[in-house]
Amino acid sequence: MLKKNWYLFTPLLLIGLPALLLVFYILSFGYPVGEAVEAVSHFLQSSTRYSLKYDDHRFARIKPGMGGRDVFELVGVPFERRNNDEEWLYALPQGATKYYHERKVIFVRDKNDVPLVKETVRAFHAD
């Protein structure tokens, strides 16, 4: 019976696979539902390259108020430093793609000109 009617599972597969991807993006990447939907809709179009020592679990440990040296020791050298060292980018698009997983640390300087983490950005970037 099941062997003969395998095609009955096609609707389940068409709904189930995107649902599994959605749950994956929410749980693994920490994306809100809307951003996870965006990531699923561009699943095969997205491509991200990460800096050499980058690890998502280490990046998640970066908290506001941490110093730049602590961030450097945790996730290594960023790909780019922008806006007078206020933004450190740890992920960039691979090739010519417009869709990638953005990872960025935003700093502010204290009164002694020491960079401190203001916030981290973990988002799906879609132009």
pLDDT tens column, 59-105:
999 999 999 999 999 999 999 999 888 999 999 999 888 899 999 99
Note the pLDDT of residue 88: 95
- Looking at the fold, whether 110 and 60 belong to one and the same domain comes out as yes
Q: Confidence class of residue 18 from pLDDT cuts 50, 70 and 90?
A: confident
Categorise residue 31: left if φ over 0, alpha if ψ from -120 to 50, beta otherwise: beta
pLDDT at 1: 53
Domain that holds residue 37: 1-41
55 and 112 co-located in one domain: yes
Output the pTM of the full model.
Answer: 0.79
pLDDT in tens, 25-63: 888 888 889 889 898 888 888 889 999 989 988 999 999
What is the domain-level CATH number for residue 60?
3.30.1450
Instruction: Report d(CA 127, CA 124) in Å as an integer.
Output: 10
**CB distance 87 to 103 below 8 Å:** no
Say if CB 91 and CB 103 are below 8 A apart.
Answer: yes
Q: Verify that 60 and 81 share a domain, yes or no.
A: yes
Query: What integer pLDDT is reported at residue 2 of this predicted model?
Result: 57
Domain shared by 62 and 115, yes or no: yes
| 126 plus 103 within the same structural domain | yes
